[in-house]
Amino acid sequence: MSSSLLSLSLFLLLSSTANAAHPNFIMTIVNNCPYAIWPAIQPNAGHPVLERGGFYLDKLSHRSFPGPQQHWSGRIWARTACSHSNGHFSCATGDCGGRIECAGAGGAAPASLAQFTLHHGGHVDLSSYGVSLVDGFNIPMTVTPHEGKGNCPVVGCRADLLATCPAALQLRSPAGHGHVVGCKSGCEAFGTDELCCRNHYNSPATCRASSYSEFFKHACPATFTYAHDSPSLTHECSSPRELKVIFCH
């Protein structure tokens, strides 16, 4: 994923008590799409790779696995339109260097992205979650916490933006001629410092919404759509026993 994601003010603290560790904390990835996907998981530096970093998930199925028991931060996305050809594995969106198991590698934009910071055990239990379209969109996705305490909203983007993606942002596969498989960010499409929030524009004062980010924001207000975006995702949810990442609805 692009470096702009690293600067997102994404992580919303969810407070809890000292004894709220989750010995059975579960993460579940659900594919409600009418087609197969290849979920990918990338940890931030210093954190372990979960589930080898990626796997196949058939349509209308799910995969649950033990979540990290202490501290973990990272991201999850889906790779779409993947295929094997002449011994080479590749995906039209979200590809992580031609691997099925990404093993910690990032994915190619555009891709809808869930990000997490999880802390279990010790004196505090703080977790946060959100969905980013800063690097564009390839598939509807939401994050749902279960059995948490307090206000625990579902966040993300349920809309299928491929059908309405502006022509200038469309990614087609096969290249340039096939179906729309992704909707690029303005940064990915045009690469300017202003749209990418680089150099002079790399601060909350100068990094602003654009007509391209507003396309994503209008459809999916509970997402991050540019590097210094700060959507109204205020919530207080502590001690979720399960976090579900759901693709398609």
Q: Which residue has the higher pLDDT, 160 or 1?
A: 160
Tell which residue, 105, 2, 3, 18, has the closest CA to residue 54. Answer: 105
pLDDT band at residue 147 using 50, 70 and 90 as cut-offs: confident
Tell whether the model's pLDDT for residue 22 goes beyond 90: no
Distance CA 248, CA 73 (A): 24
Q: To 10 degrees, the CA torsion angle through 128, 129, 135, 138?
A: 170
- 3-state secondary structure at position 201: helix
Which residue in 13, 3, 15 sits closest to 149, CA to CA?
15
Q: Would you say 68 and 78 are in contact if contact means Cβ atoms under 8 Å apart? A: no
Number of domains observed in the structure of the chain:
1
Distance CA 76, CA 248 (A): 14
Residue numbers of the domain that contains 164? 3-247
**Structure confidence by residue, pLDDT tens digits, 227-248:** 999 876 656 667 778 889 999 9
Report whether 116 contacts 127 (CB < 8 A): yes
Give the least confident one: 14-23, 41-50, 58-67, 174-183.
14-23
Is 147 exposed, middle or buried (CB count within 10 Å of its CB: 0-12, 13-18, 19+)? exposed
**CA-based end-to-end distance of the chain:** 24
Answer for the pair 170, 183: CB distance below 8 angstroms, yes or no.
Answer: yes
Q: How is residue 15 written in tokens?
A: 């407070």
**Does residue 198 register a pLDDT over 60?**
yes
Q: Which amino acid is at 155?
A: V
Burial 55-74 (b: 16+ CB within 10 A, else e): bebeeeeeeeeebbeeebbb
Task: Tell me if 203 sits within 8 A of 226, measured CB to CB.
Answer: no
Return the DSSP state at 207: -
pLDDT, position 146: 86
pLDDT at 84: 87
Residues 91-111: tens digit of each pLDDT:
999 999 999 999 999 999 999
Give the CATH number of the domain where residue 187 resides.
2.60.110.10
CA nearest to 1, candidates 132, 111, 75, 107: 107
Please give the full DSSP string across 120-139, using - where no structure is assigned: -STT---EEEEEE-TT-BSS
